[in-house]
Amino acid sequence: MVSRSEWNELHPGMRVRLGGLCQRSGLLRLLHRTRGWVRRDLRVLAYHRVLSVADPDRFDFDLDLVSTSVDGFRRQMQLLGRRFHPMSLGQVVAALEAGQQLPAQAVVVTFDDGYDDNHRFAFPILRELGIPATFFVSTGHIDSGLPYAYDWLVHMILCTQARELAIPALGLAEPLPIERRARRLLAQRVLDRLKALDVAAQEACIARLEAAWGMPRVAGHPDCRPMGWAQLREMHAAGFEIGSHGVHHRMLAKLPREELEAELRESRTALERELGTPATTISYPVGGVGAFDDEVVRATRDAGYQAACSYICGTNPLRAINRYALYRLPVERHMDANWFTAMLTLPELVGYPSSNREG
Ligand SMILES: [Zn+2]
């Protein structure tokens, strides 16, 4: 299976050209108007970070988590405001509970993880344009200032002075390339393989590298930090929905039962304590096929959540909506405006394959 980075490197051109062609031919506008007649589905956009990276070669964290630049995000939200009906996930759930029909062009904007650029850059644009959104945050990271574990792993591989990468649990022992692009591809390959392990083994691998390379995870990286509770309270008070993304960003399907339940319960309790409103929605950390299963879905429902997002690419047919495994459309840095428009209009053709997108 190709990694996310390799896929991005190989395939953006085709989708940019396809998006441009559809846009120039007027096909997108026509399809946008007519699609709702034949296909009634809910589209949920998935973002991680909104950040303008001046020089990707000098960016020391995971570039694949940067969904778009600040200007790109503004243009995307302007398009949503003009042609779609943006809703928060909580509004969608309320409508479904009441047996109401969703608008034909319903789109939900979601963010995973809780990076502070969500507050600095995305929030003011959303507020100005009046676009509702749902922010899923890992509550244990809020106010810690610490980079997220997977992002720190990428950072270590990009920046270490060591010459070799050795991760016995993955059977990996190989020289570290000098060239940064090659290191990024290696880091992505390591991440993909790491996510197949159970959570304790994943955390042990990362801790082992931190110790071996003398690179303990510390706060104070301006390019990679979570939001604080004060920022979340401001966004919540402005009407934005804050949902759970677990406590420690652990893959729920790879946890023992008690720890799975604790992640679901404690993140919900923390959000209620800090924001004064119980969280009713969650996105499963990482969110791909290995990140949640039937047991996770049952535990999520039992913990009181009313809807849950996966990170599997697709849209949600309203007649058979699976509220505890909602498909999403990941927004990626390589998408230009035409591609973004085409993805929303023709998600079946222009979205990413789900196996390569995880959050
Ligand atoms: Zn995540």
Residue 62, helix vs strand vs coil: coil
The answer, yes or no, to whether residue 7 has pLDDT greater than 50, is no
Q: Separation of 111 CA from ligand 1 center, angstroms? A: 9
Q: Predicted confidence band at 342 (pLDDT cuts at 50, 70, 90)?
A: confident
Report the pLDDT averaged over residues 159-165. 96
Report the pLDDT averaged over residues 336-341. 88
Q: Predicted confidence band at 354 (pLDDT cuts at 50, 70, 90)?
A: very low
**What is the tens place of the pLDDT at every residue in 55-94?**
999 999 999 999 999 999 999 999 999 999 999 999 999 9
Report the pLDDT averaged over residues 33-42. 71
Q: Which of 63, 54, 15 is nearest to 337 (CA)?
A: 15
Phi, psi of 144 (to 5 degrees): -80, -25
Are 157 and 61 in contact by the 8 Å Cβ rule? The answer is no
How deeply is 177 buried, as exposed, middle or buried, from its count of CB atoms within 10 A (0-12, 13-18, 19+)? middle
Report the pLDDT averaged over residues 248-264. 96
Q: Separation of 255 CA from ligand 1 center, angstroms? A: 16
Q: Separation of 32 CA from ligand 1 center, angstroms? A: 30
Q: Predicted confidence band at 3 (pLDDT cuts at 50, 70, 90)?
A: very low
**What is the tens place of the pLDDT at every residue in 208-229?**
999 999 999 999 899 999 999 9
Q: Separation of 4 CA from ligand 1 center, angstroms? A: 15
Q: Separation of 48 CA from ligand 1 center, angstroms? A: 8
Q: Separation of 115 CA from ligand 1 center, angstroms? A: 10
Q: Separation of 249 CA from ligand 1 center, angstroms? A: 6
Q: Predicted confidence band at 9 (pLDDT cuts at 50, 70, 90)?
A: very low
Q: Separation of 246 CA from ligand 1 center, angstroms? A: 9
In whole numbers, what is the pLDDT of the chain averaged over residues? 90
Q: Separation of 245 CA from ligand 1 center, angstroms? A: 7
Q: What percent of the chain has pLDDT over 90?
A: 78
Q: Separation of 354 CA from ligand 1 center, angstroms? A: 15
